[in-house]
Amino acid sequence: MHMVSEDSKSPVLDTKPVDPDFKTLIAKEHRAYDYDDYQIICDVGQGISLPPGKTKYKVMMSINDYTWTTDGPKEYKDGYCRWH
C-alpha cells in the first residue's frame, strides 16, 4: 500500500495498491520469502555472577518463532548455575 499526505486544511487519504511486479522484483533481489534449513547446536554450560536471590535459573533461546528453554540447573548456588 502506498499512502500520500499533504499539509492542508481538509486532508484526504489516498491509497493505491503496490504493483505486483514490484513485489516480485523485491522478493528476487532480497531473497524475501526464501527459507533455508539450518542445524543449530547450542551448549549451555554455566552461568556466573547471576543476580542473588533466585537460584534455579533457566535459559531461553529464541530464533524467529522458535523458542527453547533449558531444564532447571543440575547444580546451583547463590549467583551460580550449572546445567550439565
| pLDDT on residue 63 | 80
For the stretch 18-54, pLDDT in tens is 777 877 777 777 776 666 777 888 888 888 888 887 7
Comparison of pLDDT for 6 and 83, the residue scoring more:
83
What average pLDDT is seen over the chain? 79
Amino acid found at 20: P
**Residue 2 above 60 pLDDT?**
no
| pLDDT on residue 1 | 52
Work out the burial of residue 73: count CB atoms within 10 Å of its CB; fewer than 13 is exposed, 13-18 middle, 19 or more buried: buried
Instruction: State the pLDDT confidence band at 77, using cuts at 50, 70 and 90.
Output: confident
| pLDDT on residue 39 | 83
From residue 33, how far is each of 27, 28, 49 by CA, in Å? Answer: 7, 9, 41
Q: What would the grid cell of residue 8 be?
A: 492542508
